[in-house]
Structure 1
Amino acid sequence: MVSISGHLSTEPQTLNKPKTLEIKNMFDSIRAHVALHPCFWLFMAVFVIQIVIVFVTCGLPLSPSLQQISPAPAAGDCNSGEVYVYDLPAMFNKELTDNCNDSDPYNWRCQAVSNDGFGRRATELAGILPENLAPAWYKTNQFSSEILFHNRMLSHKCRTLDPESATAFYIPFYAGLAVGKYLWIQNHTMRDRDCEMLLRWVQDQPFWKRSNGWDHFITLGRIIWDFRRLNNPELGWGSSFVNMPAMTNVTRFTIERAPSEYLDVGVPYPTGFHPRSDDDVSQWQEFVRNRNRTSLYCFVGMARGDIKNDFRGLLLSECANESDSCRAVGCSETRCSIGYSESLEAFLSSDFCLQPRGDSYTRRSTFDCMVAGSIPVFFWNRTAYNQYEWFLPVEPESYSVYIDHYDVRNGTSIKGVLERYSREEVRRMRERVIEYIPKFVYAKPSEGLESIRDAFDVAIDGVFKRFKGQRQIENMYN
């Protein structure tokens, strides 16, 4: 700038000139140049401002939490919209994990929250698994999905910190933990208390009021019946959470859904396998594909002596009578969690695995079985076919066998049915199961896998698609 003004100045420059006069002459020269070339100076002003902005913004440190959990989406990655995760008061999630205290008689709550929902490493499986895949296996509790989903949501590529730009809103309330500690206490008021307070808080948010909750979703870590108390509240099981008026429009992920309930989305039970990379998935698929299976079928479960004509007891009896073809793991004698070797070995060593209903229509064992590459045999449609449409093949016969439980009670031989499948048919069905393994598992990295879509990704993609369709329908009538 000085050289330009010096060149254009009409005043002779002398070293002895007073400083005030020199400065005055410089500004006179600049004013004259601005008057003669206004466009040039406008360009220079804009250019300098841009440089200042770049230097200032690059020099500002970002919040560490935002750096870790708010990755910028790549262009085109979020065409279906962005999701805003509510920052709930700690009493609705963090305090429930910090104060788990195993206050229920089955001691599941602290297990469910440990290690960000993954549980401790399943070191007992070291002799069964390929050495390089053993670190990807954990003793994950079947009720941990609330924690798993919340942690993944915080790192989702389409998460936005600006609710104005969001097309979906996630409510990270740990309802399963809140309700679960009172399930075995006959006090319906306590079972509903946290749920009612949560809904009051959410209904005060402006973005809830904008849609009345239809673009909101939540994960329920237990089966839907634990949140759908009916009839006499003093006698009924569970909470009335999903029957509360404010839940009328909210989509909920749950490990067991109610039949024909559009807002319930069945998601896979968490299993013990949490791949760290795409390579973990492909290596595991190859391992179960080439596994030498020495049994035609297996059953992992426990008879219920308090239930008359218990079907699981019937299966254990049949398995014992067909011990040359069936491998039984009775859970009254051994622990049945997938974190224990007996269960996993049974699934890995059998072509088929029997999957009756559990205490409810579904059971985690269904996914433990399929992750091990075994073909499930169902006896009730509601155990899988009407539960997990987003995660299972459309054609049930392509990956599973169905034998009605009434037929089994009336003498149909399970072994006889399974022996009718040729080796080629078994191979094709197993290959279909193996193909779908990524959709049954929850990846270990908080940002997910490199290119493979796991159960979390399938669920979130589905809810984005659902909300986008709802907006399109709404726009048609507005």
Structure 2
Amino acid sequence: MASIPTILTTIFLFFLRSTISQQIHSNPDCTGRWIHIRRLPSRFNLDLLTNCSQYPLFDDFCPYLPNHGLGQKTHAKSHSWFRTDPMMLELIFHRRMLEYPCLTPDPNSANAVYLPYYTGIDALRYLYGPDVNSSAEHGLELFDFVKEQDSPNIWARHKGHDHFLVMARPAWDFSQPLINDPPIWGTSFLELPEFYNLTVLTFEARAWPWQEQAVPYPTSFHPPNLSFLESWIHRVARSRRSTLMLFAGGGGVSATPNIRRSIRDECENDTKNGTNGGYVKLCDVVDCSNGICEHDPIRYMRPMMEASFCLQPPGDTPTRRSTFDSILAGCIPVFFEDLSAKTQYTWHLPEEEYGEFSVFIPKEEVVFKGLKILDVLMGIPRDRVMKMRERVLELMPRVIYRRHGSSVDFRSNKKDAFDIAIEGTLQRIKSRLQEVAVL
């Protein structure tokens, strides 16, 4: 793995590139799409990466830093597959922002202002490090800077309504009430009145704050050009689906009734394998306990490509990276509560079309009323299953993060998760500024 200084030097060079690009762009197609990248001291981003091995209770995240947060390649000749850790989204997003075609050096002409603050990485010192008892202070130093120490007119002109940042953790991790003493899990970043106007992109948003919007977890697939993406889609479309349903994950082994336990019990008690609908297996489980699958996509991608349906039960929180892995594998996601996706990823997965690419089974019906998941899925006609899979394949480009430096044909013809997140952010900020102007 490259050394941390080498990684930081490489990233710094792209900071210089962004400075130049912000000065030379004059694209007429950028009307209403101009973004200014706020100049933050390195203590808010790059310096945080030098502490990558200092949180043993969390993990040593140094191995996930190469390739600007995509992680190490799964094998030496790979062009598209990396051992990506979702918590590196802040770094991935920052790197992609430097390639955004509508950057401007003038914040006063910008339609939005991006704060390249590695919020989730900085949160580690409050969650696992020396500042665990000072979590209510998370974000105060950033606010002091953007408001006072650097061109205060940038923040003050709209009171932060035009600023946005990325949080590579669920919003719940930043929602500890300021009055908690002693503090419980999380920091209080999103509870600070100073940041109430900030637009936040996160893995999992809460239901009520208008400023939070969920964006897809990064998968391990980051194609560098359109050819690699189309080749993968073609491969997935031709994959033989010999398993009816698959669960890739951990949990479900406690005595307490819950949806994961119900799934495991149903799979273990299934005696119909090889006798129904042409499937060799009706149910398969890929045990991903203790994080063994997280950076090893081959463990779950091959089984997912052989399954028609991939179960997405909630765990510690409702959302799962596995949702996007399953779409990448052409495996139809099965949800058990709306908070897992439908009310989260409204920019990337059209809310009114969920019945066209996914199945919903209320978890209460399974856990407490004895509804069998297998019975529901086996009752779906084959032709409808085929149409649902086709829709999943159509959605695939929208939920992946293509590799930085992608070819022009890819950037021009296929919007990925980053592109859609930026479009949604610009529209959200525009609408918010119009609302504020009326008040």
Q: CA deviation at 1:192?
A: 4.2
Distance 2:139 2:50 in 1: 18
Q: CA deviation at 1:457?
A: 0.4
Q: Aligned partner of 2:51: which letter?
A: N
Q: Aligned partner of 1:416: which letter?
A: D
Root-mean-square deviation (CA), in Å?
2.4
8 Å CA contact retained: 1:298, 1:319: no
8 Å CA contact retained: 1:271, 1:364: yes
The answer for the alignment partner of 1:48 in structure 2 is none
Q: Aligned partner of 1:296: which letter?
A: L
Q: Work out which of the residue numbers 439, 452, 455 in structure 1 matches 2:417.
A: 455
Shifted more, 353-362 versus 274-283: the winner is 274-283
8 Å CA contact retained: 2:111, 2:162: yes
Deviation string, structure 1 residues 214-264 (Cα, Å, up to 9, x no partner) = 000010011101101125242421000011011110000000000132110
Deviation string, structure 1 residues 290-337 (Cα, Å, up to 9, x no partner) = 111110110011125567224323212212223531111112388222
8 Å CA contact retained: 2:219, 2:321: yes
Q: Percent identity?
A: 34
Q: CA deviation at 1:474?
A: 4.9
> Residues 447 and 67 (structure 1 numbering): CA distance in 2 closer, same or farther, change over 3 Å?
farther
How many residues were matched structurally?
A: 407
8 Å CA contact retained: 1:70, 1:154: no
Q: CA deviation at 1:373?
A: 0.7
TM-score by length of 2: 0.86
Distance 1:262 1:229 in 2: 18
Distance 1:308 1:94 in 2: 43
Residue 214 in structure 1 maps to residue 175 in structure 2 = no
Distance 1:148 1:282 in 2: 22
Q: CA deviation at 1:463?
A: 1.1
Q: CA deviation at 1:365?
A: 0.8
Deviation string, structure 1 residues 12-53 (Cα, Å, up to 9, x no partner) = xxxxxxxxxxxxxxxxxxxxxxxxxxxxxxxxxxxxxxxxxx
The answer for the alignment partner of 2:35 in structure 1 is 83
> Residues 97 and 306 (structure 1 numbering): CA distance in 2 closer, same or farther, change over 3 Å?
farther
Distance 1:423 1:120 in 2: 39
Q: Aligned partner of 2:154: which letter?
A: F
Q: Aligned partner of 1:459: which letter?
A: A
Q: CA deviation at 1:163?
A: 1.6
Q: Work out which of the residue numbers 294, 316, 332 in structure 2 matches 1:337.
A: 294
Distance 2:26 2:106 in 1: 17
8 Å CA contact retained: 2:162, 2:433: no
Please list, as runs of the form range in 1=range in 2, the aligned pairs for 1:239-318 lying within 5 A after superposition. 239-303=187-251, 305=253, 308-318=256-266
Q: Aligned partner of 1:90: which letter?
A: S
Q: CA deviation at 1:67?
A: 7.7
The answer for the alignment partner of 1:466 in structure 2 is 428
Please list, as runs of the form range in 1=range in 2, the aligned pairs for 1:44-443 lying within 5 A after superposition. 65-66=17-18, 69-70=21-22, 72-73=24-25, 75-107=27-59, 109-123=61-75, 134-184=78-128, 188-204=132-148, 205-230=152-177, 232-303=180-251, 305=253, 308-322=256-270, 324-332=281-289, 335-337=292-294, 339-393=296-350, 394-409=352-367, 410-443=369-402
Deviation string, structure 1 residues 377-418 (Cα, Å, up to 9, x no partner) = 011110000100000023211110011111111211111100
> Residues 334 and 148 (structure 1 numbering): CA distance in 2 closer, same or farther, change over 3 Å?
closer
8 Å CA contact retained: 2:310, 2:326: yes
8 Å CA contact retained: 1:151, 1:446: no
Larger Rg: 1
8 Å CA contact retained: 1:188, 1:234: no
> Residues 176 and 237 (structure 1 numbering): CA distance in 2 closer, same or farther, change over 3 Å?
same
Distance 1:245 1:67 in 2: 31
8 Å CA contact retained: 2:224, 2:405: no
8 Å CA contact retained: 2:53, 2:62: yes
> Residues 211 and 353 (structure 1 numbering): CA distance in 2 closer, same or farther, change over 3 Å?
same
Distance 1:193 1:104 in 2: 22
Distance 1:222 1:353 in 2: 23
Q: Aligned partner of 1:277: which letter?
A: N
8 Å CA contact retained: 2:236, 2:329: yes
Shifted more, 376-385 versus 81-90: the winner is 81-90
8 Å CA contact retained: 2:175, 2:187: yes
| Secondary structure of residue in 2 paired with 1:256 | coil
8 Å CA contact retained: 1:297, 1:353: yes
Q: CA deviation at 1:376?
A: 0.4
Q: Aligned partner of 2:359: which letter?
A: V
Q: Aligned partner of 2:353: which letter?
A: E
Q: CA deviation at 1:345?
A: 1.2
> Residues 137 and 215 (structure 1 numbering): CA distance in 2 closer, same or farther, change over 3 Å?
same
Q: CA deviation at 1:164?
A: 2.3
Deviation string, structure 1 residues 48-102 (Cα, Å, up to 9, x no partner) = xxxxxxxxxxxxxxx9635875485564321223111111111110011122114
8 Å CA contact retained: 2:161, 2:433: no
Distance 2:376 2:20 in 1: 53
Q: CA deviation at 1:343?
A: 0.7
Q: Aligned partner of 1:244: which letter?
A: L
Q: CA deviation at 1:147?
A: 0.6
Q: Work out which of the residue numbers 445, 450, 454 in structure 1 matches 2:404.
A: 445
Q: Aligned partner of 1:396: which letter?
A: Y
User: Gapped runs of 5+ residues in structure 1?
Assistant: 1-62
Distance 1:119 1:111 in 2: 6
Q: CA deviation at 1:199?
A: 1.2
8 Å CA contact retained: 2:220, 2:297: no
The answer for the alignment partner of 1:52 in structure 2 is none
Distance 1:241 1:306 in 2: 33
Q: Aligned partner of 1:372: which letter?
A: A
8 Å CA contact retained: 1:353, 1:369: yes
8 Å CA contact retained: 1:192, 1:239: yes
Shifted more, 418-427 versus 70-79: the winner is 70-79
| Secondary structure of residue in 1 paired with 2:126 | coil
